[in-house]
A = this chain, B = another copy of it.
Amino acid sequence: MRAVVLKRFPDGIPCSADFAVVPAPPPKVVIDGVRIQIRFLSLDPYLRGVISGRHMGHSMALGDVVPGSGVGEVVESMSADFAPGDWVQGEFGWREEAVVVASQLRRLPIGIAPSTALGVLGMPGLTAYAGVNDIVQPREGETIVVSAPLGPVGSTVAQLARRVGARVVGIAGGARKCELALSVLGFDDCIDYRSDDFVAALHRACPNRIDAYFDNVGGRVLEAALGHLNLRARVALCGLIDQYNKAERPPGPNLGPVIAARATLTGLVVYDHFHRLPAMLDELVPLVKSGELKYLEDIAHGIESTPAAFAKLMRGENIGKALVAL
């Protein structure tokens, strides 16, 4: 059994050589413990902040196994709650096999692909669910803009907003991502922030301005959206992918347009909303089963591919939820 450890602190965008795949035999299973054969590792942008010690107080040392969520099958159990063959989700870290206490495990919904428990039906989906219900609050006919639209958060926000009749515009990096947002995820429009006339294109795509913006990225994408808000627009501040690879925190957008629009910007952290997971699953599992709620996955294979897959994610080259299948 192997795990991925931090070999050196990345300088800017992580690369494979920042990590090492090492033997890591898990401990014996004791009372209340469960051994899991991990089937999918979740790769998430927030881990870049954890690695550099900037994520909500979490940090890691050289040689530590990289933390992260996963799903897998129970192969040995000393808990009455789980039996071999059960599919579970937990915070296993980047490893092939884990031993955890039963109370830390979540049983997967029946009849859906296990990998969705790390994306649309996991923490990213819960982020989207909380953000849509609490902050974005889309209404019929409104214009909702979403950045990182192919990811599990953005794609879920967009589809939930469209279900109530909002017009949804994505902001993505590159023509291929924009095309997928339209053809697979049902966006009404999608703007390439790398294009020369990005700001003008955003204005054209939102002729009635922006009623709500769900931000995953910060930087000039956030700035462009703030510059085109409607009166009393809502903005969910959910992530700052634009700066996760930077050593220094860059300045933010000028807030004059926020005042002029009487807009509200609200920070969103999914950790506040774990108690709402059952309500989220009640609403979203049927939509995933029926195919009404789409999702994209970018799957690498084998523990040894994890560092490169994470580097790809942090370069923004993934298409959809980044996973490693083991």
A243 contacts chain B at the CB level, 8 A cutoff: yes
Q: How far is the CA of A267 from the CA of B254 in the complex (A)?
A: 12
Please choose the segment from A171-179, A258-266, A282-290 that sits at the chain B interface, where 4 or more of its residues have CB less than 8 A away: A258-266
Interface string of A98-132 (1 = CB under 8 A from B): 00000000000000000000000000000000000
Interface residues of chain A: helix, strand, loop or mixed (majority): loop
List the B residue with the shortest CB-CB distance to A265.
Answer: B265
Q: A261-B267, A263-B266 known; A253 and B252 CB under 8 Å?
A: yes
Asked if A269 is at the interface (CB within 8 A of a chain B CB), the reply is: yes
Tell me whether A258 and B267 are in contact (CB under 8 A). Answer: yes
Q: Interface code A45-58, partner B: CB below 8 Å = 1, 0 otherwise?
A: 00000000010100
Distance between A231 CB and nearest chain B CB, rounded to angstroms: 9
> CB < 8 Å: which of B56, B252, B261 contacts A255?
B252
Kindly identify, within residues 242 to 280 of chain A, every residue whose CB is under 8 Å from any CB belonging to chain B: 243, 249-256, 258-269, 272
Q: What are the residues of chain B within 8 A of A88 when measuring CB–CB?
A: none
In the assembled complex, the Cα of A104 lies from the Cα of B239 at a distance in Å of 47
Also in contact, A264 and B262, with CB within 8 A (given A249-B256, A256-B249):
no
B260 and A56 within 8 A (CB): yes
Residue A320 is within 8 A (CB to CB) of chain B in the complex: no
* B residues in contact with A260, CB < 8 Å: 56, 267, 269
List of B residues within 8 angstroms of A56 by Cβ:
260
Q: Answer whether A240 and B259 are a contact pair too, CB < 8 Å, given A252-B254, A253-B251.
A: yes
**Is the Cβ of B262 less than 8 Å from the Cβ of A272?**
yes
CB of A223, distance to nearest CB on chain B (Å): 9
16 extra A-B contacts, CB within 8 A, seeds A250-B254, A264-B266: A222-B255, A239-B259, A240-B256, A243-B254, A243-B256, A249-B254, A249-B256, A251-B253, A251-B254, A252-B255, A260-B267, A261-B267, A263-B266, A264-B264, A264-B265, A265-B265
